[in-house]
């Protein structure tokens, strides 16, 4: 996945006011909360809790989209959509792709906005 596919800089810069310190605090909150969402998805996958998987994928989709993490949001949206149709076979692969996209996006933000 290229950087243009993993993050929308237009969206990220819009929500963080081009990396303004006060707005980057909101981004830090996102970074703090996202591992909990990933852990909840992993638990849902491990336990076969389809309702929780769909619900948490929905939460991840929205929060990732807010920060322009397109790769994460698209994978989570697909988990949610397929799950609503009772299809869960692709969820583990999509989840793994979402985690990779998240790591890549975080690195891209750190490169553009070093702290």
Q: Is residue 29 part of a domain?
A: no
Q: What is the length of the chain?
A: 115
**Average pLDDT of the chain?**
94
Compute the distance between CA of residue 16 and CA of residue 19 in angstroms, rounded to an integer: 5
Contact between residue 76 and residue 60 where contact means Cβ atoms under 8 Å apart: yes
Considering only 2-6, 19-23, 107-111, which range has the smallest mean pLDDT? 2-6
Q: Look at residue 104 in the predicted model and tell me its pLDDT.
A: 97
pLDDT at 2 over 70: no
How many C-beta atoms surround the C-beta of residue 7 within 10 A? 26
Q: What is the 3-state secondary structure (H, E, C) of 7-65?
A: CCHHHHHHHCCCCCHHHHHHHHHHHHHHHHHHHHHHHHHHHCCHHHHHHHHHHHHHHHH
pLDDT at 3 over 90: no
Q: Is residue 22 part of a domain?
A: no
Q: Is residue 90 part of a domain?
A: yes
> What would the pLDDT profile of 64-100 be if each residue is shown by its tens digit?
999 999 999 999 999 999 999 999 999 999 999 999 9
Mean pLDDT of 41-60: 97
If you search the block for the tokens 């929308």, which residue do you land on? 8
Q: Look at residue 1 in the predicted model and tell me its pLDDT.
A: 54
pLDDT at 28 over 80: yes
Domains in the chain, number? 1
Q: Look at residue 5 in the predicted model and tell me its pLDDT.
A: 83
Output DSSP code: residue 89. Answer: T
Which residue range forms the structural domain that includes residue 59?
A: 3-11+35-112
Q: Tell me the C-alpha to C-alpha distance, in Å, between residue 85 and each of 41, 79, 81, 88, 89.
A: 17, 10, 7, 9, 11
Q: Is residue 62 part of a domain?
A: yes
Q: Look at residue 4 in the predicted model and tell me its pLDDT.
A: 54
Mean pLDDT of 15-28: 93
């Amino acid at each position: 996945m290229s950087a243009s596919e993993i993050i929308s800089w237009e969206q990220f810069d819009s929500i963080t006011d081009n990396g303004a310190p006060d707005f980057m605090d909101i981004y830090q909150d996102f970074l703090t909360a996202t591992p909990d969402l990933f852990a909840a998805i992993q638990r849902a996958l491990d336990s076969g809790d389809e309702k929780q998987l769909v619900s948490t994928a929905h939460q991840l989709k929205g929060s990732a989209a807010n920060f322009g993490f397109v790769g994460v949001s698209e994978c989570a949206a697909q988990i949610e959509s397929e799950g609503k149709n009772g299809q869960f076979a692709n969820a583990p692969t999509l989840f793994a792709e979402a985690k990779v996209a998240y790591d890549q996006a975080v690195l891209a933000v750190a490169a553009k906005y070093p702290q």
